[in-house]
Structure 1
Amino acid sequence: MGIIIKPPKLQVGDTIGIITPSFPAPVQFEGRYQRGVEQLKRMGFKVKEGTCTYKTEGYRSSSIRDRADELNAFLHDPEVKAIISTIGGTNSNSVLPYIDYEQLRRHPKIIMGYSDVTAILMACYAKTDVVTFYGPAIVPSFGEYGGMFETGEQYVKDILCLERTAPFQLHIPDEWTEEMLDWSTQQRIKTFQPNEGWISLKDGKAKGTLIGGNLNTMSGFFKSDYYPDLKGAILFLEDSFKTMAEEERSLSMLKLAGVFDEISGLIIGKHEHFQDQSAPFSFNDLLLEIIGEKDFPILTNVDIGHTFPSHVFPIGIQVELDTTNGIIQLFRRWGIGMKEHLTIFDENHRKIGEKERNQVHVDGDWHETFHCWFWKEDLIYLQRRSMDKQDFPGKYDITAAGHLATDETIANGVREIEEELGLSLTFEQLTFMGIFEDVIELDEFLDREFAHTYGYVYQDETLRFDDQEVMDVVAVQRNELMSITAGRMCTIEGRSLMTNHLVQVTQADLVPHRQTYWQNVFESLTRMDASNR
């Protein structure tokens, strides 16, 4: 798996393209479909209907090629910022060989659906590393009688519109429903029941890439080139109207393929109208019987899939699953990549405007960042950047750092520590060191930062690295790091926190911060030393 590619967030005024890759729901349930379109418009979006919207061939909207062409047209349409399916069905897997994956990789955009659309979502992620979204569809969710359920609408805004900033814990709704009412004759809002919460089947905590979808659909492309690598993943599964016998077959398929040997955690969504066939055991009993002695955390009864309200799960982002406390935490702001805007300043730190991040580095604009140095007694901790990083791969750098986007405060910078190192700290636990000018100048790259710099006295907490960001953290002697950055030493020795082995660090191994930056850091740490005595 390569570097995660993050599509731009959805904003009011953006255009959403609607696809019908399987069942012809807009024809079968036209009134409900139209309500779904109006719901999107009330939320502030424009709508483009796909070429298969009003087509029907019985069980499917149109031919395989037509359905693929509908999706590809929206991938190539610069006006369309998101693509949402009308409903699921049975045959979305048919279009997988004909999707223009290279276009999606070059021009990422949101693709959302659920149920049978699992095939498209997982294939697009597997082929491109672009984050896709398992969430509500137009007819069943946005077209709900009386309007989309408020909680479900907010879940969409939280994720697609980034109304919540990661890291954050997913909300457990107070109530839920699986009530089935005839869509053709429905004249009342569905009845809700109290939510008993998310249930730990196996206690524990794990971090990994969130991947998954509808279990029944997976059988149509499982272990093909369109199925993602699940090594270390947090796998989520949900299903609808299946029997105990069918679930035993599907779960055993995963076991036989070695899935339960690969994943680091499992999330099971609420099963809409599950049929236990009078079995003398529960679904959870069956799951444990099939999984056997595997020791990874399992959380069940989660609100994802066919019941209401349903969360939106971004496929491809880092999450932490804490089943002991019933928590799913999203770590990474999936939309930070493509259109992240930074506030730019003049050389006196006066705000002069905003600009896209990539252009800021081309133009050499001053902007703000968050730096945090871990230290303890005579030690200071260097992060070794992932080899997947675009800038300075494999180099040693600040313990944790990141840009401050236009919509973020300095306190929001603490998220970098959790995203990169898996350590949850509050802003109040950090000590202010200063605002330091940090300039790095290379060919076609000029990074000029006003770095809001903080220190943290490391207490040997366990760190969990995001391998897309960090390879290792190495403890070195502060006085030796001071000497090598000043050119008085060529090589220093440190100890890897990952392997506990000694490693050698040369000046060429360091990200090339200017000497003035290093001096500010060391002088500030010396002052902090004195104040702690």
Structure 2
Amino acid sequence: MTAPQYPAKPRPGDLVAVLSPSSGLPGLLPLPYELGLRRLRDDFGLKPVEYPATRRMGSSPEDRAADIHAAFSDPEITAVITSIGGDDQITVLPHLDRDLVRAHPKPFFGYSDNTNLLLFLRELGMVSYHGGSVMAEFGRPGAMHRLTADSLRAALFTSGAYELTAPHTSRDVDRPWEEPRTFESEPEMEPAEGWTWFQADRVVEGAGWGGNLEILSWLLMADREVRPSASYRGDVLFLETSEDMPAAREVFWILRNMGERGLLEQFPAVLVGRAKSWSFEKRLGGEEKARFRREQREAVLRALRQYAPDAMVVFDVDFGHTDPQMVIPVGGRIRVDGPARRIFVTY
């Protein structure tokens, strides 16, 4: 596969599309959404443009595909930023005009269910960006996290290498978005475990492939946006799990099936995001959260030892469903320097 190309970046003052390719939550939960739009305008100097399905829950896959087509084909739109994730974006993919999107390359930002579109764009030859939703990152209560804002600013406006930073604190516990009081102060942070390295005896550099593990499993089951396994030889795999908090055995089962497909052995380096270990449905305490993360790490290692025993692995990297969140380029270059314990991405 030819290396994906980086679309031209926006500049302050430009128009950017804000889409809901998955869930129309901005219509139900306007507080973080409006805050995120305000920060896009005031802090990043961009002019957000909404589309018909952006605030509409229950939009059909066809309507959401129409918004994607309109955003990519508009010559005045310089980037596409998602409002939030969801759970059915895979139904949008069959309605997309690949030739239209390919002819109008633009930076695309999203994660979680947007793993569908991120890998769709990679297959079209475009680098896209895993991270940066309007409601969660731009709309963070109190203030954007400095590391999140720095990474998003670099990914939006600059090109070249960017070093990821391990934070001293992170957040796992959410507060309700329907409550105005939530947005009066920053979230409570907890001490963050540092990155954990395995087999860090070399430097690996390759194109990024991956995303949310649950969505990857759905794409694999539907046989969409995934090439023959050997196509990814030498790439850097990155994986993270969502607030659905799949059990360790489920994580192992998904990775085992990826291994049986011949995928895992293609990747000489694997980045694993800091696992989300609290949700409104699963309100784990401190010891329970630590156990959940430990068991997930063990499940990942178990699968990799079986199917990719030589891979270098880094756990608890801050991307995906975590705060702070750093942007990972899908199809872009990732350099994992084991001896120096450093990670660089190219935006």
Deviations 1:343-362 (A, max 9, x none): xxxxxxxxxxxxxxxxxxxx
Runs of 4+ that moved beyond 6 A: 274-281
Q: What is the match of residue 298 of structure 2?
A: 285
Higher deviation after alignment, 32-41 or 147-156: 147-156
Q: What is the match of residue 29 of structure 1?
A: 29
Work out whether residues 297 and 322 of structure 1, in 8 Å CA contact, stay in contact via their aligned partners in 2. Answer: no
In the TM superposition, what are the counterparts of 1:113-512 in structure 2 within 5 Å? 113-126=110-123, 128-162=124-158, 166-185=160-179, 186=182, 187-204=184-201, 205-222=203-220, 224-228=223-227, 229-240=231-242, 241-273=245-277, 282-292=295-305, 294-330=309-345, 332=346, 334=347
Q: CA deviation at 1:268?
A: 0.1
> Percent sequence identity over matched residues?
26
Deviations 1:50-101 (A, max 9, x none): 11022122xxxx0010111111110111111111111101011111122222
Q: CA deviation at 1:281?
A: 6.6
Q: CA deviation at 1:14?
A: 1.0
Amino acid across the alignment from 1:51: P
The structure with the largest helix share of the pair is: 2
Please point out which of 86, 89, 96 is paired with 1:89.
86
TM-score, length basis structure 2: 0.88
Change (3 A) 1:281 1:45: closer
Work out whether residues 252 and 302 of structure 2, in 8 Å CA contact, stay in contact via their aligned partners in 1. Answer: no
Q: CA deviation at 1:189?
A: 1.6
Change (3 A) 1:236 1:280: closer
Say yes or no: does 1:47 pair with 2:48: yes
Work out whether residues 202 and 299 of structure 1, in 8 Å CA contact, stay in contact via their aligned partners in 2. Answer: no
Amino acid across the alignment from 1:191: E
**SS class of match (1:222):** helix
Amino acid across the alignment from 1:263: F
Unaligned 5+ runs, structure 1: 335-533
Change (3 A) 1:173 1:280: closer
Q: CA deviation at 1:175?
A: 2.2
Deviations 1:199-222 (A, max 9, x none): 102323312111111000112212
Work out whether residues 195 and 315 of structure 2, in 8 Å CA contact, stay in contact via their aligned partners in 1. Answer: yes
Change (3 A) 1:93 1:273: same
Work out whether residues 249 and 299 of structure 2, in 8 Å CA contact, stay in contact via their aligned partners in 1. Answer: no
Work out whether residues 247 and 296 of structure 2, in 8 Å CA contact, stay in contact via their aligned partners in 1. Answer: no
Q: What is the match of residue 357 of structure 1?
A: none
Unaligned 5+ runs, structure 2: 279-283
Amino acid across the alignment from 1:56: M
Amino acid across the alignment from 1:160: L
**SS class of match (2:238):** strand
**SS class of match (1:292):** helix
Deviations 1:246-291 (A, max 9, x none): 2122222221211111112100000111677978973222222222
Q: What is the match of residue 69 of structure 2?
A: 72
CA distance in 1 between partners of 2:294 and 2:142 (Å): 38
Higher deviation after alignment, 80-89 or 240-249: 240-249
Say yes or no: does 1:98 pair with 2:95: yes
CA distance in 2 between partners of 1:181 and 1:139 (Å): 13
Work out whether residues 231 and 263 of structure 1, in 8 Å CA contact, stay in contact via their aligned partners in 2. Answer: yes
